[in-house]
Amino acid sequence: MALKPLDIFKYLPKTNCKECGFPTCLAFAMQLALGKTELVRCPHLSEEGKNQLAQASAPPIRTVTVGTGDNQIKLGGETVLFRHEKTFYNPPALGVLISERMSDEEITTRLADIGRLSYERVGLKLQAELIAVEDTGQGRFSSLVEKACATGKCLLLMSQEVARLREAVKGCLQSRPLLFAADSTNWEQMGNLAREFSLPLVVRGASLETLVELAGKLSGPGLADLVLYPEVSSGRELLEKLVTIRRGAILGHIKELGYPVLTMPGTLTQDPLRQALHACLAIAKYASLVVLPELKGEILFPLLLERLNIFTDPQRPMATPQGLYEIGQPGPSSPVLVTTNFSLTYFVVSGEIENSRVPAYLLVQDAEGLSVLTAWAADKFNAEKIAELVKQTHLEEKIAHRTLILPGVVAGMVGELEEELPGWKILLGPREASYIPVFLKNWKAE
Ligand code: SF4
């Protein structure tokens, strides 16, 4: 349940030492209650305080980690029904199935496609994160798991045979796979296997009552990371169950429903278009992991974009890292343009520079993700910061001229920047990014 600032404050040391980055303990408590900082940033909390706050501030849906290192994914961890109430935290992971039913050639192609189908949008790499490996008893399960493991992707190991699952787990333990699945017939053995290797486990059930019962029996010491898999036979049932589980966890505080949810559109229909629609529905309404039966760019790409749009926090502008970007292969006489780190601005400006085919430098100043005019009005895009960035990036060593091109809408900054950078010439570029190609084609270093 969400904690109020004063509930948190009573556990804090109240020394106002500022080590957490906030001026007072109360300010820290307020930000923590809003979910904008983390408990670990206060190094002076007592063990009792840590335990109390960690338990009380735990999200109603448990965060389950699959995979390790840079490739790990976090499932669940959500606290609200609707994004506008606060935010969503962990985008649903997209997985792709490989099965013993497939030929070696099909598997090789699919594994290659999983690595190949990757898209860049607003500085983010969009791709499927997980491979689900299905055991059908043909004796190739462990070798398929090893092949999938070699891709570095997260793994879902799917077998109803505990012995075969145990064998396969040993070959990929370092990648912390998710095990599939405990049901009414095997939950004790599956639970023991998950406990033995400290791995997360999927619980499957045809009804929500079964899921609640099994999750209740399985959760406990040594096994806290569960993922629910509600079996469904129609899109309507899928939606109903996903919504009921989320509402039960968040509004009903039903602990046994407070886990991430897995969906597999391929179990509902053989029609690729309907599978895509079910995946789309699951992403929009509360699935934490969606395993696709096929891998096609024309289906994966829109799903990745849907996910990006739903899980982008509208309260936090998307930002590109501050720095000096090279577009084309700029040299000493190439132009240097300046802009802010609002992702959309960066991509529009860099796109127009690319269109011009004139190699250039783009100096991107951190303006907390604001666009040029807004950042300038808020004094987050100013002459002092740009001059500092010119020095930090050692721009002088890369170019022979001393000219910077500012966005045309900040004419008022020209004089200030000339004062901050003596010896530099400050030019105004176009007011509209679409005129950048013409501007650059006519530009000559002086
Ligand atoms: S680090 Fe802890 S004790 Fe220090 S101000 Fe922050 S919350 Fe208070």
Is beta strand 323-327 parallel, antiparallel or unpaired with respect to 360-365?
antiparallel
Is 63-310 assigned to CATH 3.20.20.20? Answer: yes
For ligand 1, atom 8: residue with the closest CA: 25
Q: Is 4 in the pocket of ligand 1 (CB under 6 A)?
A: no
- Please check the confidence at residue 122 and state whether its pLDDT lies above 90: no
Q: Stretch 52-68: mean pLDDT, rounded?
A: 87
Q: Is 29 in the pocket of ligand 1 (CB under 6 A)?
A: no
pTM for this entry: 0.78
Q: What is the pLDDT of residue 2?
A: 62
pLDDT tens, position by position, 214-259: 999 999 888 999 999 999 999 999 999 999 999 999 999 899 999 9
Q: Is 40 in the pocket of ligand 1 (CB under 6 A)?
A: no
CATH of domain 323-441: 3.40.50.11600
Q: Stretch 27-49: mean pLDDT, rounded?
A: 85
User: Which of 16, 26, 39, 45 gets mutated to test ligand 1 (max ligand atoms within 8 A of its CB)?
Assistant: 16
Is 5-56 assigned to CATH 1.10.15.40? Answer: yes
338: how many CB neighbours lie within 10 A of its CB? 24
Atom of ligand 1 nearest to the CA of 17: 4
- Please check the confidence at residue 60 and state whether its pLDDT lies above 80: yes
For ligand 1, atom 2: residue with the closest CA: 42
Domain(s) of CATH 1.10.15.40: residues in the chain: 5-56
pLDDT tens, position by position, 333-361: 999 999 999 988 999 999 999 999 999 99
Of the candidates 90, 80, 88, the one whose C-alpha atom is nearest the C-alpha of residue 247 is 80
Q: Stretch 293-305: mean pLDDT, rounded?
A: 95
Q: Is 20 in the pocket of ligand 1 (CB under 6 A)?
A: yes
CA dist 355 and 327 (Å) reads: 10
Q: How far is the CA of 41 from the centre of ligand 1 (A)?
A: 8
Q: What is the pLDDT of residue 7?
A: 87
Domain(s) of CATH 3.20.20.20: residues in the chain: 63-310
Q: How far is the CA of 321 from the centre of ligand 1 (A)?
A: 29
For ligand 1, atom 4: residue with the closest CA: 17
Q: What is the pLDDT of residue 141?
A: 97
Residues of the chain above pLDDT 70, percent = 99
Q: How far is the CA of 10 from the centre of ligand 1 (A)?
A: 12
The total number of residues shown for the chain amounts to 446
Domain(s) of CATH 3.40.50.11600: residues in the chain: 323-441
